Amino acid sequence: MNKWPIRVPMQIQETISSWLVRLAIGQGCDPLTLTGTIWADWRAWTFDLDRGIPKERIDILLELSDIRKSALKQSALACEISIISSLPLLKHGIWPWLLGIGIRNRRYRGGLQYCPLCFSSDTQPYFRRQWRFAWATNCEKHNVLLLDRCMQCASPVEPHRLSVLHVKQLSFCATCGIDLRKCVPQPNLSGALRFQECARNFINLKQGEIWGRSIDIREWFDACRQFINMIRRVVCQPESKLGRMFTDIGVPFHKIEPEQLNLRLELLSVGCREQLFDCLNTLMSIHINDISNILKYYSITKNSFWSNNYENPSPLHFLNSALSIQNRRYKSRTNRTYGVPKSKIAVLKAWTRLKRRGIVD
């Protein structure tokens, strides 16, 4: 087979699927036609191509296009996810912290996010790699919420279904045909943006930090997931001790509807993830000098703080002495006072510090 006549260089930080769609439009054919020509025996769009093109499928793509093997490898999202995941990345199934696209017969249920302002400022609109991560809910350049649906028809974003007869670039909704650059940017929550910036910085450093303690990057992401699970539990049980603690320290969990949380993190909408990360940011912004006193004051138990099967990493072991152990069999009224500090002064001090730092109103 001859090389394709039109060169389409990959943009900085572009996803593989975005480049393939632009490559197809550049040659004047539909994305489905292009991939059918490259891989006649493989239904490419029934896979999440952004994770990485399988080794056995790469050579033919290199033969037909001008892309370098190293560029394809670097653009695979498997690079970042393997840095932060403590679990092996399975061929099928959802990867931790990577938005699931929920493929069903080449149709997506979600998973692709975009910023209409980035699309508008691009000479050739394209999807960024960072928009695919579950921790990303903001465009850091334009300081707006990312969108994960067409604002006219509410369909998920599916550029691989575009027809070259109707569009000359990928910033269009494949369902209703509107130009996604016209979607109105939505305001964001600053706490979620701060969490996103932390995640990005920590990945670059390959090292995280929680309550002043350095922590391995995989353990940081695992701990964040634990805290998100805790926030989810509190949303369903707002009257629990943790719920009271969250309310008092200003974790804005009341804004989340329990029914929004029926899916795992990687399948939740951008708006729902943003609210969870806003809560997470408040929780993680508690000063290291305060966290133990706060946990003691509210008599938070180990069982309610950590999930049963989670082994909290050594940098967080200092919390263990602040968490009470609930004896489920012999629970009595007297247990309620277990772990309460001698006075309220420490807690009031902590409260003042939180106020001063603008974490609570």
Task: Determine, following the binding rule CB under 5 A, whether residue 173 of this chain makes contact with Zn ion.
Answer: yes
Q: Which of the stretches 169-177, 287-295, 302-310, 332-340 binds Zn ion when contact is defined by CB under 5 A?
A: 169-177
Q: Which of the stretches 155-163, 192-200, 227-235, 343-351 binds Zn ion when contact is defined by CB under 5 A?
A: 155-163
Which of 73, 107, 142, 353 touches Zn ion (CB under 5 A)?
Answer: 142
Task: Determine, following the binding rule CB under 5 A, whether residue 265 of this chain makes contact with Zn ion.
Answer: no
Query: How many CB atoms are closer than 10 A to CB 288?
Result: 11
**Rounded to an integer, what distance in angstroms lies between the CA atom of residue 248 and that of residue 30?**
55
Query: With respect to Zn ion, which residue has the nearer C-beta, 175 or 260?
Result: 175
Cβ-contact 317, 274 below 8 angstroms: no
Task: Determine, following the binding rule CB under 5 A, whether residue 118 of this chain makes contact with Zn ion.
Answer: yes
Which of 141, 254, 344, 356 touches Zn ion (CB under 5 A)?
Answer: 141
Task: Determine, following the binding rule CB under 5 A, whether residue 170 of this chain makes contact with Zn ion.
Answer: no
Q: Give the pair of three-digit tokens for residue 272.
A: 């729902």
Continuous H helices in the chain: 16-27, 31-38, 55-64, 69-75, 78-84, 116-121, 190-205, 217-236, 241-249, 270-284, 288-297, 302-305, 345-356
Query: With respect to Zn ion, which residue has the nearer C-beta, 139 or 268?
Result: 139
**Rounded to an integer, what distance in angstroms lies between the CA atom of residue 110 and that of residue 121?**
24
Task: Determine, following the binding rule CB under 5 A, whether residue 139 of this chain makes contact with Zn ion.
Answer: yes
Q: Is 301 exposed, middle or buried (0-12, 13-18, 19+ CB in 10 A)?
A: buried
Query: With respect to Zn ion, which residue has the nearer C-beta, 131 or 202?
Result: 131
| Minimum distance of Zn ion from residue 266's CB (angstroms) | 22
Q: Which of the stretches 150-158, 237-245, 263-271, 353-361 binds Zn ion when contact is defined by CB under 5 A?
A: 150-158
**Rounded to an integer, what distance in angstroms lies between the CA atom of residue 352 and that of residue 358?**
10
Q: Which of the stretches 29-37, 105-113, 142-150, 294-302 binds Zn ion when contact is defined by CB under 5 A?
A: 142-150
Q: Is 89 exposed, middle or buried (0-12, 13-18, 19+ CB in 10 A)?
A: middle
Residues in contact with Zn ion, shown as a per-residue x/- string from 176 to 215 under the rule CB under 5 A: x---------------------------------------
**Rounded to an integer, what distance in angstroms lies between the CA atom of residue 174 and that of residue 180?**
10
| Minimum distance of Zn ion from residue 248's CB (angstroms) | 36
Query: With respect to Zn ion, which residue has the nearer C-beta, 136 or 150?
Result: 150
Task: Determine, following the binding rule CB under 5 A, whether residue 152 of this chain makes contact with Zn ion.
Answer: yes
Q: Is 154 exposed, middle or buried (0-12, 13-18, 19+ CB in 10 A)?
A: exposed
Which of 153, 236, 288, 345 touches Zn ion (CB under 5 A)?
Answer: 153
Task: Determine, following the binding rule CB under 5 A, whether residue 115 of this chain makes contact with Zn ion.
Answer: yes
Binding positions for Zn ion, rule: CB under 5 A: 115, 117-118, 139, 141-142, 150, 152-153, 155, 173, 175-176
